[in-house]
Each structure stands twice: as structure tokens, then as C-alpha cells.
Structure 1
Amino acid sequence: MKKVSQMNIGDEAVIKKITAKEPIKGRLSAMGITKGNRIKLLDYTLKKQTWEVDVEGTRVALRKEEADSILVE
């Protein structure tokens, strides 16, 4: 497994685990970022401070802390 922050642009994976604590975990869940959903990395900023992902058809911008807490395979 690897973190979303370690993915390359264009990579697709399945979310296996969310390691974030509340309230971040609840926020991610509300955006559709839950175990079993597919996630695709669309882009990230030059300094890798935010990651833009597509989760089941919804575009979401993640901060580093959030991207580090999503484990995919």
C-alpha cells in the first residue's frame, strides 16, 4: 500500500484504509473518500502542498495531511 501523496499523476487505485482522526476522517468521508472507492490523481501543486483527485466522479482537493492519511493499492 502507498499514500495518495506518493501517487503519480494519472495513477488510479482503490482506497484501502483511512488513517486520519476525526474531524478530518469525517470530512473525507463526506467527500466520498471511503474504503473501497476508486481514486485517481489528477494533479498536484509544484511544492506538493495540495493534490487534486477524482473519487467516483467527484473532484476533490486534498491538503498534505489528508493525502498522507489515505492508503491505496
Structure 2
Amino acid sequence: MKLTELTKGDRAEIIRIDADKALKDRLNSFGVMRGEELTVKGCSLAKQTMEIEVGSTLIALRKEEAEKIEVKKI
């Protein structure tokens, strides 16, 4: 399941990030990595952007970035 399939309030575990090294490194610097749990805090209309919380960090992702993150709903 892709991160974009989740809705506000959903919790999930990150299974895989299917992105190039630059994006993976940027996401890792925010704590977005395999095995971490996240909570969807909000979505814009048509899910063009998503706000997620990983640990105590809030992160806004574009739809293109969120589609590269595979998760398992908790």
C-alpha cells in the first residue's frame, strides 16, 4: 500500500522507500526510513500534499514523494 492511500489519522509502518538516493537521503534526514511508524496529520485537496508525523517531526510531502513510500497500515 502506498502512503497516498492513507487518510488523515491513519497510522502505518514504513515498509520500503522506492526513490533515488538523493530523495532517500533527504527523507532519512527527517527520520523517514524503513521500520519507522508514521501518522498522517493532514492532506490537501486531491492529496497533492500530505503532512505526516514521524516521531516528533512533522513533514510535508508532495504527492510524487508520498507515492514512493510503501507502508503497512497499523
Answer yes or no: same fold by TM over 0.5. yes
Supply the distance in 2 between the matched residues of 1:42 and 1:65 (Cα, whole angstroms). Answer: 18
Supply the distance in 2 between the matched residues of 1:72 and 1:12 (Cα, whole angstroms). Answer: 9
Residue-by-residue CA offset, 1:33-59 (whole Å, 9 max, x unaligned): 000100110101113111000011110
RMSD: 0.8
Q: Report runs of 4+ in structure 1 exceeding 2 Å deviation.
A: none
Helix, strand or coil for the counterpart of 2:26?
helix
Runs of 5+ consecutive residues of structure 2 not aligned to the other structure: none
| Structure with more helix by fraction | 2
Supply the distance in 1 between the matched residues of 2:71 and 2:34 (Cα, whole angstroms). Answer: 9
Which residue in 2 is equivalent to 1:46?
45
Supply the distance in 1 between the matched residues of 2:32 and 2:47 (Cα, whole angstroms). Answer: 20
Supply the distance in 1 between the matched residues of 2:36 and 2:11 (Cα, whole angstroms). Answer: 11
Scaled by the length of structure 2, what TM-score is found? 0.92
Scaled by the length of structure 1, what TM-score is found? 0.93
Supply the distance in 2 between the matched residues of 1:57 and 1:70 (Cα, whole angstroms). Answer: 19
Helix, strand or coil for the counterpart of 2:39?
strand
2:38 counterpart of 1:34: no
Q: Identity percentage over the alignment?
A: 39
Supply the distance in 2 between the matched residues of 1:55 and 1:3 (Cα, whole angstroms). Answer: 16
Supply the distance in 2 between the matched residues of 1:30 and 1:66 (Cα, whole angstroms). Answer: 15
Helix, strand or coil for the counterpart of 1:72?
strand
Aligned length: 72
